[in-house]
Protein backbone atom coordinates (compact mmCIF):
# COMPACT_ATOMS: atom_id res chain seq x y z
CA UNK A 1 0.00 0.00 0.00
CA UNK A 2 2.85 2.34 0.91
CA UNK A 3 4.52 1.69 -2.46
CA UNK A 4 1.25 2.44 -4.25
CA UNK A 5 0.89 5.79 -2.44
CA UNK A 6 4.49 6.63 -3.26
CA UNK A 7 3.95 5.76 -6.93
CA UNK A 8 0.86 7.99 -7.04
CA UNK A 9 2.74 10.93 -5.50
CA UNK A 10 5.72 10.37 -7.78
CA UNK A 11 3.48 10.32 -10.88
CA UNK A 12 1.76 13.58 -9.90
CA UNK A 13 5.11 15.19 -9.16
CA UNK A 14 6.51 14.09 -12.51
CA UNK A 15 3.46 15.40 -14.38
CA UNK A 16 3.74 18.69 -12.48
CA UNK A 17 7.42 18.89 -13.38
CA UNK A 18 6.72 18.30 -17.08
CA UNK A 19 4.05 21.02 -17.07
CA UNK A 20 6.47 23.48 -15.49
CA UNK A 21 9.22 22.62 -17.95
CA UNK A 22 6.95 22.92 -20.99
CA UNK A 23 5.54 26.26 -19.91
CA UNK A 24 9.04 27.50 -19.25
CA UNK A 25 10.23 26.38 -22.68
CA UNK A 26 8.19 29.13 -24.29
CA UNK A 27 10.80 31.64 -23.14
CA UNK A 28 14.56 31.18 -23.33
CA UNK A 29 15.03 33.23 -20.15
CA UNK A 30 12.70 33.87 -17.22
CA UNK A 31 13.30 36.31 -14.36
CA UNK A 32 12.41 34.88 -10.96
CA UNK A 33 12.51 36.27 -7.42
CA UNK A 34 13.18 33.78 -4.62
CA UNK A 35 14.04 33.96 -0.93
CA UNK A 36 16.62 31.71 0.70
CA UNK A 37 16.92 31.03 4.42
CA UNK A 38 19.55 29.49 6.62
CA UNK A 39 19.65 28.81 10.34
CA UNK A 40 22.61 30.42 12.08
CA UNK A 41 24.12 27.45 13.83
CA UNK A 42 26.32 27.53 16.92
CA UNK A 43 29.93 28.50 16.30
CA UNK A 44 29.16 29.26 12.63
CA UNK A 45 30.47 32.41 11.02
CA UNK A 46 28.01 34.91 9.53
CA UNK A 47 29.61 34.45 6.11
CA UNK A 48 28.83 30.72 6.16
CA UNK A 49 25.20 31.36 7.10
CA UNK A 50 24.92 33.99 4.39
CA UNK A 51 26.41 31.60 1.82
CA UNK A 52 23.94 28.83 2.72
CA UNK A 53 21.01 31.26 2.50
CA UNK A 54 22.21 32.39 -0.93
CA UNK A 55 22.58 28.76 -2.08
CA UNK A 56 19.03 28.07 -0.90
CA UNK A 57 17.69 31.04 -2.89
CA UNK A 58 19.60 29.97 -6.01
CA UNK A 59 18.35 26.37 -5.69
CA UNK A 60 14.74 27.54 -5.40
CA UNK A 61 15.23 29.76 -8.45
CA UNK A 62 16.56 26.82 -10.46
CA UNK A 63 13.55 24.70 -9.44
CA UNK A 64 11.23 27.37 -10.86
CA UNK A 65 12.73 26.65 -14.25
CA UNK A 66 11.57 23.02 -14.10
CA UNK A 67 12.80 19.95 -12.26
CA UNK A 68 13.63 16.32 -12.88
CA UNK A 69 12.14 14.00 -10.26
CA UNK A 70 13.47 10.47 -9.83
CA UNK A 71 12.28 7.85 -7.38
CA UNK A 72 14.05 4.79 -6.07
CA UNK A 73 13.67 2.16 -3.37
CA UNK A 74 16.26 1.17 -0.77
CA UNK A 75 16.29 -1.88 1.50
CA UNK A 76 17.20 -1.10 5.10
CA UNK A 77 19.19 -3.43 7.36
CA UNK A 78 15.92 -4.63 8.93
CA UNK A 79 14.71 -5.63 5.40
CA UNK A 80 12.12 -2.82 5.34
CA UNK A 81 11.77 -0.86 2.09
CA UNK A 82 12.37 2.90 2.07
CA UNK A 83 11.06 4.98 -0.80
CA UNK A 84 13.07 8.06 -1.88
CA UNK A 85 12.58 11.07 -4.14
CA UNK A 86 15.45 12.96 -5.76
CA UNK A 87 14.60 16.42 -7.13
CA UNK A 88 17.11 17.99 -9.53
CA UNK A 89 16.78 21.42 -11.20
CA UNK A 90 16.42 21.14 -14.97
CA UNK A 91 17.48 24.70 -15.79
CA UNK A 92 20.53 26.87 -15.37
CA UNK A 93 20.92 30.11 -13.43
CA UNK A 94 22.52 32.43 -15.95
CA UNK A 95 22.88 35.51 -13.75
CA UNK A 96 21.45 36.97 -10.54
CA UNK A 97 21.45 39.97 -8.27
CA UNK A 98 20.78 40.25 -4.54
CA UNK A 99 17.69 42.36 -3.79
CA UNK A 100 17.83 42.34 -0.01
CA UNK A 101 19.51 40.69 2.97
CA UNK A 102 18.16 40.30 6.50
CA UNK A 103 19.69 38.79 9.61
CA UNK A 104 18.08 37.88 12.89
CA UNK A 105 19.44 36.13 15.95
CA UNK A 106 18.57 32.73 14.50
CA UNK A 107 18.29 33.11 10.70
CA UNK A 108 19.91 34.71 7.67
CA UNK A 109 17.49 35.60 4.82
CA UNK A 110 18.49 36.63 1.27
CA UNK A 111 16.15 37.64 -1.54
CA UNK A 112 17.47 37.45 -5.11
CA UNK A 113 16.33 38.07 -8.66
CA UNK A 114 17.64 35.48 -11.12
CA UNK A 115 17.75 34.96 -14.87
CA UNK A 116 16.93 31.27 -15.31
CA UNK A 117 16.89 29.23 -18.51
CA UNK A 118 19.09 27.87 -21.26
CA UNK A 119 20.86 29.75 -24.02
CA UNK A 120 20.24 27.32 -26.85
CA UNK A 121 19.82 28.12 -30.52
CA UNK A 122 16.43 26.93 -31.73
CA UNK A 123 15.91 27.97 -35.31
CA UNK A 124 15.56 31.65 -36.07
CA UNK A 125 15.41 33.29 -32.63
CA UNK A 126 17.21 36.50 -33.60
CA UNK A 127 14.73 37.53 -36.23
CA UNK A 128 14.64 41.28 -36.47
CA UNK A 129 15.07 44.33 -38.67
CA UNK A 130 18.24 44.37 -40.75
CA UNK A 131 19.63 47.25 -42.84
CA UNK A 132 20.82 46.16 -46.28
CA UNK A 133 22.37 48.08 -49.17
CA UNK A 134 22.16 46.49 -52.63
CA UNK A 135 24.83 47.48 -55.13
CA UNK A 136 25.12 47.21 -58.92
CA UNK A 137 24.75 43.60 -60.11
CA UNK A 138 27.09 41.77 -62.46
CA UNK A 139 25.38 40.42 -65.58
CA UNK A 140 26.91 37.87 -67.94
CA UNK A 141 25.01 36.87 -71.09
CA UNK A 142 25.94 34.21 -73.60
CA UNK A 143 26.46 35.93 -77.02
CA UNK A 144 24.53 33.09 -78.69
CA UNK A 145 21.45 33.66 -76.51
CA UNK A 146 18.31 35.25 -78.08
CA UNK A 147 18.31 39.05 -78.42
CA UNK A 148 15.54 39.53 -75.85
CA UNK A 149 17.66 37.99 -73.08
CA UNK A 150 19.34 41.37 -72.42
CA UNK A 151 16.10 42.92 -71.21
CA UNK A 152 15.31 39.68 -69.34
CA UNK A 153 18.45 40.04 -67.22
CA UNK A 154 17.45 43.56 -66.16
CA UNK A 155 13.95 42.34 -65.35
CA UNK A 156 15.28 39.53 -63.16
CA UNK A 157 17.66 41.78 -61.19
CA UNK A 158 14.86 44.29 -60.64
CA UNK A 159 12.63 41.47 -59.40
CA UNK A 160 15.25 40.40 -56.82
CA UNK A 161 15.54 43.97 -55.51
CA UNK A 162 11.77 44.52 -55.41
CA UNK A 163 11.19 41.24 -53.56
CA UNK A 164 13.77 42.07 -50.88
CA UNK A 165 12.35 45.59 -50.53
CA UNK A 166 8.87 44.17 -49.91
CA UNK A 167 10.05 42.43 -46.74
CA UNK A 168 9.05 44.23 -43.56
CA UNK A 169 12.19 42.86 -41.88
CA UNK A 170 14.59 44.60 -44.28
CA UNK A 171 15.48 48.29 -44.32
CA UNK A 172 16.70 48.47 -47.92
CA UNK A 173 18.90 51.08 -49.59
CA UNK A 174 19.12 50.68 -53.35
CA UNK A 175 22.54 51.48 -54.82
CA UNK A 176 21.95 49.34 -57.91
CA UNK A 177 23.67 51.95 -60.12
CA UNK A 178 26.84 51.96 -58.00
CA UNK A 179 29.36 49.10 -58.19
CA UNK A 180 30.70 47.81 -54.87
CA UNK A 181 34.47 47.70 -54.49
CA UNK A 182 34.86 46.53 -50.92
CA UNK A 183 38.63 46.26 -51.23
CA UNK A 184 38.94 49.95 -52.10
CA UNK A 185 36.43 51.04 -49.48
CA UNK A 186 38.42 49.36 -46.73
CA UNK A 187 41.68 51.07 -47.75
CA UNK A 188 40.56 54.60 -48.74
CA UNK A 189 40.59 57.30 -46.07
CA UNK A 190 37.57 59.55 -46.70
CA UNK A 191 39.31 62.52 -45.01
CA UNK A 192 41.91 62.64 -47.81
CA UNK A 193 40.01 61.15 -50.77
CA UNK A 194 38.87 63.55 -53.52
CA UNK A 195 35.68 61.65 -54.40
CA UNK A 196 34.74 61.26 -50.75
CA UNK A 197 35.25 64.97 -50.09
CA UNK A 198 33.45 66.23 -53.21
CA UNK A 199 30.60 63.80 -53.85
CA UNK A 200 30.88 61.28 -51.02
CA UNK A 201 31.21 57.51 -51.05
CA UNK A 202 28.34 55.21 -50.24
CA UNK A 203 29.54 53.10 -47.33
CA UNK A 204 28.02 50.33 -45.24
CA UNK A 205 27.85 51.31 -41.59
CA UNK A 206 28.59 49.23 -38.51
CA UNK A 207 25.85 46.63 -37.99
CA UNK A 208 24.54 46.98 -41.57
CA UNK A 209 24.96 44.67 -44.57
CA UNK A 210 25.87 45.07 -48.25
CA UNK A 211 24.83 42.75 -51.08
CA UNK A 212 26.08 42.24 -54.63
CA UNK A 213 24.20 39.98 -57.03
CA UNK A 214 25.27 38.38 -60.26
CA UNK A 215 23.17 36.76 -62.98
CA UNK A 216 24.64 34.59 -65.70
CA UNK A 217 22.56 33.46 -68.68
CA UNK A 218 23.91 30.83 -71.03
CA UNK A 219 22.31 28.97 -73.90
CA UNK A 220 22.28 25.19 -73.75
CA UNK A 221 21.66 22.83 -76.68
CA UNK A 222 20.74 19.21 -76.13
CA UNK A 223 20.33 16.68 -78.94
CA UNK A 224 17.67 14.02 -78.38
CA UNK A 225 17.26 11.76 -81.40
CA UNK A 226 16.90 14.04 -84.39
CA UNK A 227 15.75 17.06 -82.39
CA UNK A 228 17.90 19.76 -80.78
CA UNK A 229 16.37 21.39 -77.71
CA UNK A 230 17.43 24.96 -76.93
CA UNK A 231 17.19 26.21 -73.37
CA UNK A 232 18.46 29.00 -71.16
CA UNK A 233 20.48 28.26 -68.04
CA UNK A 234 20.04 31.09 -65.49
CA UNK A 235 22.17 31.24 -62.36
CA UNK A 236 21.51 33.73 -59.55
CA UNK A 237 24.27 34.37 -57.04
CA UNK A 238 24.29 36.96 -54.24
CA UNK A 239 27.12 37.64 -51.81
CA UNK A 240 26.41 39.50 -48.58
CA UNK A 241 29.03 41.44 -46.61
CA UNK A 242 28.82 42.81 -43.07
CA UNK A 243 29.73 46.15 -41.56
CA UNK A 244 32.19 48.83 -42.55
CA UNK A 245 34.95 46.22 -42.91
CA UNK A 246 32.87 44.38 -45.55
CA UNK A 247 33.68 41.00 -44.05
CA UNK A 248 32.04 38.15 -45.95
CA UNK A 249 28.82 37.02 -44.26
CA UNK A 250 27.11 34.49 -46.57
CA UNK A 251 26.12 33.78 -50.16
CA UNK A 252 23.06 32.31 -51.85
CA UNK A 253 22.86 30.63 -55.25
CA UNK A 254 19.92 29.46 -57.33
CA UNK A 255 19.86 27.93 -60.83
CA UNK A 256 16.99 27.26 -63.23
CA UNK A 257 16.65 25.99 -66.81
CA UNK A 258 14.02 27.25 -69.25
CA UNK A 259 13.28 25.61 -72.64
CA UNK A 260 12.51 28.16 -75.36
CA UNK A 261 12.71 26.33 -78.72
CA UNK A 262 13.68 23.21 -80.63
CA UNK A 263 14.88 22.37 -84.13
CA UNK A 264 14.48 19.12 -86.02
CA UNK A 265 13.14 17.53 -89.19
CA UNK A 266 9.51 17.83 -88.08
CA UNK A 267 8.26 21.37 -88.46
CA UNK A 268 5.01 20.75 -86.56
CA UNK A 269 6.88 19.53 -83.47
CA UNK A 270 9.20 22.52 -83.69
CA UNK A 271 6.23 24.89 -83.65
CA UNK A 272 4.60 23.07 -80.74
CA UNK A 273 7.76 23.22 -78.64
CA UNK A 274 8.45 26.88 -79.35
CA UNK A 275 7.63 28.89 -76.22
CA UNK A 276 6.27 32.39 -75.99
CA UNK A 277 8.52 34.84 -74.16
CA UNK A 278 5.92 35.29 -71.40
CA UNK A 279 5.82 31.52 -70.80
CA UNK A 280 9.60 31.56 -70.31
CA UNK A 281 9.82 34.68 -68.21
CA UNK A 282 7.12 33.77 -65.66
CA UNK A 283 8.93 30.80 -64.02
CA UNK A 284 12.19 32.78 -64.10
CA UNK A 285 10.57 35.63 -62.16
CA UNK A 286 9.32 33.09 -59.64
CA UNK A 287 12.89 31.81 -59.28
CA UNK A 288 14.13 35.39 -58.77
CA UNK A 289 11.62 35.90 -55.96
CA UNK A 290 12.63 32.60 -54.36
CA UNK A 291 16.27 33.68 -54.51
CA UNK A 292 15.36 36.98 -52.83
CA UNK A 293 13.45 35.08 -50.13
CA UNK A 294 16.51 32.91 -49.45
CA UNK A 295 18.60 36.04 -48.93
CA UNK A 296 16.00 37.68 -46.70
CA UNK A 297 15.40 34.59 -44.55
CA UNK A 298 19.11 34.12 -43.96
CA UNK A 299 19.75 37.78 -43.24
CA UNK A 300 16.95 38.37 -40.73
CA UNK A 301 18.09 35.33 -38.74
CA UNK A 302 21.67 36.54 -38.38
CA UNK A 303 22.77 36.90 -34.77
CA UNK A 304 22.84 40.46 -33.51
CA UNK A 305 26.30 40.86 -32.03
CA UNK A 306 28.29 43.89 -30.94
CA UNK A 307 31.11 45.07 -28.66
CA UNK A 308 30.48 46.93 -25.39
CA UNK A 309 31.93 50.37 -24.79
CA UNK A 310 31.78 51.97 -21.34
CA UNK A 311 31.54 55.77 -21.60
CA UNK A 312 30.86 58.20 -18.76
CA UNK A 313 29.62 55.39 -16.55
CA UNK A 314 27.23 54.02 -19.20
CA UNK A 315 27.24 50.69 -21.05
CA UNK A 316 26.80 51.37 -24.77
CA UNK A 317 26.75 49.45 -28.07
CA UNK A 318 26.81 51.05 -31.56
CA UNK A 319 23.50 49.43 -32.53
CA UNK A 320 20.08 51.04 -32.35
CA UNK A 321 16.64 51.33 -33.92
CA UNK A 322 17.95 50.97 -37.48
CA UNK A 323 19.34 47.56 -36.46
CA UNK A 324 16.10 46.34 -34.90
CA UNK A 325 17.07 46.96 -31.27
CA UNK A 326 14.08 47.72 -29.05
CA UNK A 327 13.63 49.04 -25.55
CA UNK A 328 13.92 46.33 -22.85
CA UNK A 329 15.54 43.87 -25.26
CA UNK A 330 17.88 41.42 -23.53
CA UNK A 331 21.52 40.81 -24.31
CA UNK A 332 24.15 38.51 -22.85
CA UNK A 333 27.90 38.48 -22.41
CA UNK A 334 30.18 36.02 -20.62
CA UNK A 335 30.39 36.48 -16.88
CA UNK A 336 33.04 35.87 -14.26
CA UNK A 337 31.17 35.03 -11.04
CA UNK A 338 28.19 33.68 -13.02
CA UNK A 339 28.07 31.88 -16.40
CA UNK A 340 26.72 35.00 -18.09
CA UNK A 341 25.97 38.66 -17.50
CA UNK A 342 22.43 39.52 -18.53
CA UNK A 343 21.81 43.10 -19.68
CA UNK A 344 18.66 44.97 -20.65
CA UNK A 345 18.31 47.85 -23.12
CA UNK A 346 17.45 50.99 -21.16
CA UNK A 347 17.64 53.55 -23.98
CA UNK A 348 17.56 53.25 -27.77
CA UNK A 349 18.75 55.84 -30.30
CA UNK A 350 18.97 55.50 -34.07
CA UNK A 351 22.43 53.88 -34.07
CA UNK A 352 23.23 53.47 -30.38
CA UNK A 353 21.78 51.77 -27.32
CA UNK A 354 22.42 52.06 -23.59
CA UNK A 355 22.13 48.93 -21.44
CA UNK A 356 21.99 48.14 -17.73
CA UNK A 357 23.04 44.84 -16.12
CA UNK A 358 20.78 42.58 -14.08
CA UNK A 359 23.46 42.44 -11.40
CA UNK A 360 23.52 45.95 -9.94
CA UNK A 361 26.81 45.26 -8.15
CA UNK A 362 28.64 44.52 -11.40
CA UNK A 363 31.64 46.73 -12.17
CA UNK A 364 30.95 48.39 -15.54
CA UNK A 365 34.64 48.70 -16.34
CA UNK A 366 34.95 44.91 -16.55
CA UNK A 367 32.46 44.90 -19.45
CA UNK A 368 34.39 47.36 -21.63
CA UNK A 369 35.48 45.69 -24.88
CA UNK A 370 33.47 42.50 -24.27
CA UNK A 371 31.46 40.85 -27.04
CA UNK A 372 27.70 40.91 -26.52
CA UNK A 373 24.84 39.06 -28.20
CA UNK A 374 21.20 40.12 -28.24
CA UNK A 375 18.65 37.43 -27.47
CA UNK A 376 15.39 36.38 -29.07
CA UNK A 377 13.21 38.31 -31.46
CA UNK A 378 13.85 42.02 -31.50
124 within domain boundaries: no
Number of domains in the chain: 3
Same domain, 30 and 109: yes
Residue 122 lies in a domain: no
SS3 366: helix
Asked if residue 292 belongs to a domain, the reply is yes
Looking at the fold, whether 309 and 294 belong to one and the same domain comes out as no
Domain boundary among 117, 138, 173: 117
How does DSSP assign 280-291, residue by residue?
HHHHHHHHHHHH
Assign residue 315 the CATH number of its domain.
2.40.10
User: Which of 230, 172, 207, 141 has the alpha carbon at shortest distance from 352?
Assistant: 207
Any residues with CB less than 8 A from the CB of 189 and at least 6 apart, and which? none
Do 243 and 264 share a structural domain?
Answer: yes
Q: Is there a single domain that holds both residue 264 and residue 136?
A: yes
Is this model's pTM higher than 0.75 or not? no
Same domain, 80 and 140: no
Nearest to 170 by CA among 116, 228, 240: 240
Same domain? For 347 and 198 the reply is no
List the one residue out of 180, 325, 151 whose CA is nearest residue 239. Answer: 180
Provide the residue range defining the domain that includes 192.
130-300
Q: Tell me whether residue 190 is in a domain.
A: yes
232: nearest Cα among 291, 116, 147: 147
Tens-digit pLDDT profile for the chain (378 aa)?
A: 444 433 333 343 333 333 333 333 334 678 888 899 988 887 677 788 888 888 888 878 877 766 554 444 444 455 555 544 444 445 677 888 889 999 888 889 999 988 887 776 656 665 678 999 999 999 999 988 888 888 888 899 999 999 999 998 999 999 988 888 776 555 555 444 444 434 445 667 889 999 999 999 998 887 666 667 788 899 999 999 998 888 999 999 999 988 766 665 555 544 544 556 677 888 899 999 999 999 999 998 888 899 999 999 999 999 999 888 988 888 889 888 778 888 989 999 999 999 999 888 888 998 999 999 888 655
Do both 137 and 239 map to the same domain? yes
Amino acid sequence: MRSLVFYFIFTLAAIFSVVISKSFAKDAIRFIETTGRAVIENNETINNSRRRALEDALYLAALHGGATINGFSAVNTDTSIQENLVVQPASQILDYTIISEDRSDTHFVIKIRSAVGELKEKGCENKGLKSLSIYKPTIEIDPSAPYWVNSLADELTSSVVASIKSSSDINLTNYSDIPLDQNKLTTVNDDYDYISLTSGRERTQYGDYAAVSSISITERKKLVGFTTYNSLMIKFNTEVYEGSSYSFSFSKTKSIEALFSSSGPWRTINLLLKSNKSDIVEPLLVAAKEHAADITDNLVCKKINSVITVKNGKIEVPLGKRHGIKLSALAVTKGEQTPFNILRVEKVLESKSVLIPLNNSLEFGKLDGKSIQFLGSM
